[in-house]
Amino acid sequence: MINLQETLVIIPARKGSKGISGKNKKILGGKPLIQYTIDIAIALFPKEIICVSTDDEDIQLLAEKSGLKVPYLREDKYSGDKTSGREVILYELSKQDRKISTIIYLQPTSPLRTIKNLEETIEQYHEEMDMLVSVVDSKVNPFYNFFLEDNHGFLKPFSQNQVKNRQDSPKFYQFNGAIYIINSKSIKEKEVSQFKKITKYVMNKFESIDIDDDFDWFVAEQLLKNR
């Protein structure tokens, strides 16, 4: 179980975006994209443990209108399109004046995650994990769907263990980007790719929409209209 007094909720929202210009503050379903994540964070956590990590004054203002304190903007060297999530987390940890044992990392690009999703992940997490991460059942399977082109332009199976039908292949999951609950000790010591103790929390396709480009945005709009 999570100790909220030693928890930092980070909402990363840089100004730039390759896929959609100004994505985090663009209006989706009547409110800025980032507002969905701010609202769900405020519904579950004390405002003083929520950190909106941004280099954008407009996003800073949006967060402050919601009652959050954003006392500084993220430095430019931590705001590029190649800046990793780990770099953002370590940067924000360096700004804290209290002990942080757990990071809850909520990307604004997942507007359809629910309070129930967050409550269940919090209940599931324990400090022996490196990370608990939200996932969705993968539509593609390297043992069934993946092929590589050879030197002659022909497609060859990606795996020598290729199966004849999907039912015979092992179950695969993919990170959906909605929820990461991370052990601060683990993230300080190593990259996420080096984590050994990762546990999944499965979300459905509707909740798992992750907005990266215009097509994703269109899908999210339609899902919200019919929600």
pLDDT at 90 over 90: yes
Can you list the alpha helix ranges (DSSP code H) found in 66-163? 85-94, 115-124
Instruction: Tokens 């705001």: give the residue.
Output: 79
DSSP state of 6: G
Mean pLDDT rounded to a whole number for the chain: 91
**What residues contact 219, with CB distance under 8 A and at least 6 apart?**
209
DSSP state of 45: S
pLDDT (average), residues 95-99 = 94
Domains, the chain, in order of start with CATH, read: 4-136+173-222 (3.90.550.10)
- Kindly report, residue by residue over 139-185, the tens digit of the pLDDT: 777 666 677 788 888 887 766 666 666 666 678 899 999 999 999 99
pLDDT of residue 15: 87
Locate the DSSP E strands across 55-123: 102-105
**CA–CA dist 163, 97 (Å, integer):** 53
Angstrom distance (rounded) from CA 220 to CA 206: 9
User: What digits encode the pLDDT tens for the residues 9-68?
Assistant: 999 999 877 778 899 999 999 999 999 999 999 999 999 999 999 999 999 999 999 999
Report if pTM > 0.75.
Answer: yes
Give the amino acid at 155.
L
